[in-house]
Amino acid sequence: MRVAFVSFRTTHHDDTAGARRFERVARLLLERGHDVTLFCDQWWGGDVVQSFEEDGLEYRRVSVGGRRSFRVGLPLALAGFRPDIVHARPSPPHLGAADWGARLARAPLVTEWYGDDTTGEAFSGSTTRRPDRLLVPSQVVWTRACERGADSNRTQVVPESIDFDRIETVEPDPDVDLVYAHPLDETANLDQFLLALAELRDRGWHATVLGDGPRRREYEQMADELQIADRVSFLSSCDREQRIAAYRGAHVFVQTATRELFATELLWALACGCVGIVEYQTDSSATELVESYPRSFRVTSPQEVADAITEAGDLDQMTREPSWQSHDHDAVTEQYLDIYRELL
């Protein structure tokens, strides 16, 4: 299958979760043998050249730093490529040009909206109804898209994916009991976890916090005031291997953040065998992952978090949970291909 990915800005311009997901899907399709090219604004240095290849993915220049020239040049660039599918991001707003290019190429238009894009009001109303299919990572983002005017019948959830086989290649960290992972920003809500831990001072545990951000010192001070600082480790920079090691070693993963478009770290932790404790938040998709998962607890307060940690002690410790293979890269890539085939 010949697929044209379209995004004015790439991870080399803005390294956001949505941009990473978009380019990861392109590379996964390449690994499956499909012909994939990403049409974008030139991000590579040096001379103005037509295309640049990185990790097997071809980035094809449509413009050099100009949104207007990108919108003008995109339809003909897509028509010349003659794709079977045009798969575009809506931010910055160039869906109109992608739509015209798809029409010229006589190809369906798929739009991928992660929800973290700074689209403002540009991605609303008739703009959300341009694509033949609008793909989002969670039910939370699905609801937001429909509120912006998207057709609910053409808006579909495709979850994030993980490299499930990688889990077995990493040894568990024996020093982790309870783990939390999220940037320590205004959405972290880590105080809920720390207050729960303070309720369990008389029990034997060690908690690990993975993440950094502007509120880290505030949370470290809070742990000190709660007299649990010596039992809480703050690890600011951890690569994926270190995170997998922590999740495989931990018995419990606690999710309290107020905003999660897709709870990727929770997914990794569950796949590594952690019991999931998720605090309900209106703007978080985390509860979607554990709605029908038996090794989990849904809570609404620090006291309930503490109670759930205690109850989790009755569940066996695991270092891998096979049921989450449903979110492996191959399985989710097949969901994309099924959508493409349906549209064709």
CATH superfamily of 2-161+328-343: Glycogen Phosphorylase B; (3.40.50.2000)
- Say yes or no to pLDDT of 203 above 80: yes
**Predicted confidence (pLDDT) per residue in 335-344, tens digit:** 999 999 999 9
Residue 118: what pLDDT? 62
Predicted local distance difference test score (pLDDT) of residue 48? 67
* Confidence label for 309 from pLDDT (cuts 50, 70 and 90): very high
Domains of the chain, residue spans: 2-161+328-343, 164-325
Q: Taking residues 280-301, what's their average pLDDT? A: 97
Q: Is the model's pLDDT at 120 over the cut of 70? A: no
The answer, yes or no, to whether residue 282 has pLDDT greater than 80, is: yes
DSSP states of 12-81: TT---HHHHHHHHHHHHHHHTT-EEEEEEE--S-SS--SEEEETTEEEEEEESS-HHHHHHHHHHHHHHH
Residue 209 has pLDDT above 70, yes or no: yes
pLDDT band (50, 70, 90) for residue 262: very high
Tell me the sheet residues that pair with 57: 54
pLDDT of residue 226: 97
pTM: 0.95
Residue 252 vs residue 43, higher pLDDT: 252
Average pLDDT over residues 154-182: 97
Range name among 48-52, 98-102, 164-168 with the lowest pLDDT average: 48-52
Band of pLDDT at residue 237, cut at 50, 70 and 90: confident
Q: Is the pLDDT higher at 169 or at 48? A: 169
User: Smallest Cα–Cα separation from 311: which of 297, 293, 292, 290?
Assistant: 297
In the numeric block, the tokens 């991605």 are attached to: 123
Q: What average pLDDT does the structure give for the chain?
A: 94
Q: Is 197 left (phi over 0), alpha (psi -120 to 50) or beta?
A: alpha
80-98 residue pLDDT tens? 999 999 999 987 778 999 9
Percent of the chain topping pLDDT 90: 86
Q: Which tops the pLDDT comparison, 171 or 91?
A: 171
| 3-state SS track over 227-259 | CCHHHEEEECCCCHHHHHHHHHHCCEEEECCCE
Percentage of residues in the chain having pLDDT higher than 70: 97
140, pLDDT greater than 90? yes
Instruction: Convert the pLDDT of each residue in 122-138 to its tens digit.
Output: 788 888 889 999 999 99
- Evaluate whether 179 touches 273 at the Cβ level (below 8 Å): no
Weakest mean pLDDT among 81-95, 251-265, 311-325: 81-95
Q: Is the pLDDT of residue 6 over 80?
A: yes
pLDDT in tens, 26-52: 999 999 999 999 999 998 876 667 888
Which CATH superfamily includes the segment(s) 164-325? Glycogen Phosphorylase B; (3.40.50.2000)
The two domains 2-161+328-343 and 164-325 share their CATH topology (first three levels equal): yes
* More confident position, 104 or 128: 104
